Chain A
Amino acid sequence: MSIKLNKSITQVHWQPLTALLEPAGAKQQALTGFDDEFVDIVDYIIRITHRIWEQKNVGLCYRYYSEICPVFTLGGYSECVEQVVQNTLKTIAAFPDRSLIGENVIWKEEADGTYYSSHLITSIMTNTGNSDFGLATNKTGRVTTIADCVCFENKIIKEWLVRDNSFLISQLGLDLIDAAIHFSALTPNDTFNEWYNSEYNRVLAAKHRTELSFTESSWTTESFVHAWAQTLFNQKQFSTLTQFYHVAAAHQWPGGRQSTGLAQISGTLIQWLAQCPDAKMTIDHIGVTGFDDDTIDIAIRWSVAGTFNPHIDRLSSLKGNRFFVLGCTHMRVKNQKIIKEVTVFDEISLYANMIRESGHSLPLLAQGV
């Protein structure tokens, strides 16, 4: 392993909430320009998230987000702190008891003086108000989110946000394609469209035939992650799963895809990639922190682009559409093998973007299919 465990930086896994909210230790990172109360970047992320979401101090976004803060999601783009405040308030109104349980924060100190954090969150929330999903269902659901943030001088200055919305809506009793049809009616702004187009073209140009590999002795996080993307997603060589995953690895993918072991993981990847058989993947950011003495945590932000080959009858009219995904993955790696993976992206927005772009009007489930 190329990463040593830095035991002085806050690690979330075994910490009670009270200890996380009142850190007792001394400051462990320079954190230039950050409030003195924060001892490290993990502490900063955990506490500001708690204050904004669980204590409902939505206005603290003004303190912890920069005036101009691009926030990228597959469902839309927002650019300023005012939009962050408004979107936060709308979500809390629709899901007033939303809890944000911090599962992990994987961080990186960048060369330009910023900190990059990748925050894995589990939320429990009851849908008592109307939302972009539709009318209130009064049902409680769980959802996994990964928020990747660039932090500088006490503020988040850029964010990529992915949420497993397809898993959430299935608990709320909503149909995935119906939700995507509703979402497709929302009109994204011009900046989103520019970003979507440029990202799609960038990812599609990835050189997918170059062979990337590593040996046990030359193993680095970067070589491993790039080989994972190239070999599995770009070249579809699924028998090589054994080079990347432990034979009993736990694998969580959106919509409730839970796999254990190589056969099931292989099935999940094949089924998912079959809907975009020419998929190209790029690795857009890698962060790594130690978990324990022989285990590391890796955070990856990635993109996939290609051509849609629907396997859901209701989406058959979208065949040939542009397929683009913004995704994040947290993996726990022991002895150079993934033992646990959580991958998050928004399947509703994925389909909604294609429906909107196609210009087709798809019927809702209740209208008959």
Chain B
Amino acid sequence: MFNQLIALYTEGDLAQLSSRILHSTAWKQHDFTAYGSMQINKLWLKSLEQFGFLQVTKQQEIQGDNFSALYIELSKESTSNNENVSITFFFEHNNEHIKRLHCIVDTLALAKLLQQEPSVLIDALPTPDPLLLSQFDHQLHPKSYHATPNDVCDLPNSISETVNQWWNIWQEKQLASFKNIYSDSAKIQIAGFGSHEGFKQLRDFQLKVHNRMNRSYCQLENICVDKAESSLAVKWHIDGDYIDNGKIKRIRVPVISVLTIENKHIVEEQLQIDWLALYKQYDLSYPFV
């Protein structure tokens, strides 16, 4: 399935990927969910029109039993600069068909690659699904229950402690864990903010995201671990009150993180967010952080 997903963006091979799609497959991209072959095909064609036919410059596969993930970076063949766009796929499958797929595109990088203003690309994105976010108590009370990675999947012992500490950074804002679990030379890609060595930019980003919102709350959705047990993809989101020109907007930021762990240290991480879809969904002012 990984090859078929890649062949869509590099060759426009709709037929191969279509053979993996059911009548009831849901494909979520730019926070819009396409159902059935007609809507999904239209979404693919729109992507190809926007992206052009690109070449893969980096890929990482997370092969799980029922859920898998794929991270790819794509760039133009003819380009002389280093601009690229990354896409992360997280999908439920039975090795034959894809049932549900969530695809997050780094649309800020895409705008740069296409040399377009973000506002132009925002207009071209599909209208996101209606989302009605209920108010809730975001506090981590001593007797309340909040999902941790071990609740969501059986993590191998070799990575369990690292992944739980990684989640504490986001859920409990435990910034001291950065030092414990990241390799000094970790390669970190943050959607819209490029790649960095070491965790400092990621730590700054984490602080900015949480400080930009009041009552922020991180919720795990799903985790898939590669059979080699050294890499995993985490599907999660942040809810919070975003203050935009004096107006409070309750928002949800969907995220997929892909982590590679060696000797209990994170050596590589891709944090994927579709920023322009977020601006479109909540009519936010640019930039977010």
Interchain CB contact under 8 A, B22 and A15: yes
Interchain CB contact under 8 A, B24 and A103: yes
CA of A170 to CA of B281 in the docked complex: distance in angstroms? 13
A263-B146 contact in complex given A122-B24, A142-B33, A250-B221, C-beta closer than 8 Å: yes
In the assembled complex, which residues on chain A have CB atoms less than 8 Å from the CB atom of B99?
A: 13-14
Tell me, yes or no, whether B124 is within 8 Å of chain A by CB.
no
Chain A minimum-CB-distance residue to B66: A292
Interchain CB contact under 8 A, B136 and A257: no
Interchain CB contact under 8 A, B137 and A267: yes
Tell me, yes or no, whether A91 is within 8 Å of chain B by CB.
no
In the assembled complex, which residues on chain A have CB atoms less than 8 Å from the CB atom of B38?
A: 99, 124
Tell me, yes or no, whether A167 is within 8 Å of chain B by CB.
yes
Tell me, yes or no, whether B176 is within 8 Å of chain A by CB.
no
Interchain CB contact under 8 A, A101 and B134: no
Q: 1/0 per position for B151-194, CB-CB distance to A under 8 A?
A: 11000000000000000000000000000000000000000000
Interchain CB contact under 8 A, A261 and B146: yes
Tell me, yes or no, whether A16 is within 8 Å of chain B by CB.
yes
Q: Which of A239, A242, A246, A261 has the most CB of B within 10 A?
A: A261
B145 → chain A closest CB, angstroms: 5
From A12, A258, A259, A271, contact of B24 by CB (8 A): A12
Interchain CB contact under 8 A, A101 and B24: yes
Give the size category of B's interface with A: 35 or more
Interchain CB contact under 8 A, A99 and B145: no
Tell me, yes or no, whether A130 is within 8 Å of chain B by CB.
no
B1 → chain A closest CB, angstroms: 14
A260-B237 contact in complex given A16-B97, A142-B35, C-beta closer than 8 Å: yes
Interface stretch among B72-80, B112-120, B125-133, B262-270?
A: B125-133
A167-B24 contact in complex given A248-B152, A262-B145, A264-B239, C-beta closer than 8 Å: no
From A14, A20, A171, A256, contact of B132 by CB (8 A): A256
Q: Which of A101, A264, A266, A272 has the most CB of B within 10 A?
A: A264
A332 → chain B closest CB, angstroms: 12
Q: Which of A219-263 contact B (CB under 8 A)?
A: 239, 242, 246-248, 250, 255-263
A101-B143 contact in complex given A271-B134, A271-B135, C-beta closer than 8 Å: no
Tell me, yes or no, whether B222 is within 8 Å of chain A by CB.
yes
Tell me, yes or no, whether A327 is within 8 Å of chain B by CB.
no
Tell me, yes or no, whether B220 is within 8 Å of chain A by CB.
yes
Q: Which of B39-86 contact A (CB under 8 A)?
A: 39
CA of A310 to CA of B143 in the docked complex: distance in angstroms? 32
Interchain CB contact under 8 A, B147 and A248: yes
A247-B147 contact in complex given A122-B24, A124-B35, A167-B130, C-beta closer than 8 Å: yes
Tell me, yes or no, whether A290 is within 8 Å of chain B by CB.
no
A263-B137 contact in complex given A14-B97, A248-B221, A256-B132, C-beta closer than 8 Å: yes
Tell me, yes or no, whether A306 is within 8 Å of chain B by CB.
no
Q: Which of A32-74 contact B (CB under 8 A)?
A: none
CA of A272 to CA of B135 in the docked complex: distance in angstroms? 10
Q: Which of B5-50 contact A (CB under 8 A)?
A: 22-24, 26, 33, 35-36, 38-39
In the assembled complex, which residues on chain A have CB atoms less than 8 Å from the CB atom of B3?
A: none
CA of A262 to CA of B152 in the docked complex: distance in angstroms? 13
In the assembled complex, which residues on chain A have CB atoms less than 8 Å from the CB atom of B245?
A: none
Interchain CB contact under 8 A, A262 and B146: yes
Interchain CB contact under 8 A, A262 and B144: yes
Interchain CB contact under 8 A, A239 and B134: no
In the assembled complex, which residues on chain A have CB atoms less than 8 Å from the CB atom of B133?
A: 257
Tell me, yes or no, whether B285 is within 8 Å of chain A by CB.
no
Q: 1/0 per position for B90-110, CB-CB distance to A under 8 A?
A: 000010110100000000000
CA of A242 to CA of B38 in the docked complex: distance in angstroms? 40
CA of A17 to CA of B24 in the docked complex: distance in angstroms? 8
From B36, B94, B136, B239, contact of A124 by CB (8 A): B36
Interchain CB contact under 8 A, A257 and B146: no
> A267-B137, A268-B134, A271-B135 given. 9 additional CB < 8 A pairs?
A101-B24, A142-B33, A171-B127, A239-B144, A247-B148, A248-B152, A257-B132, A261-B220, A262-B145
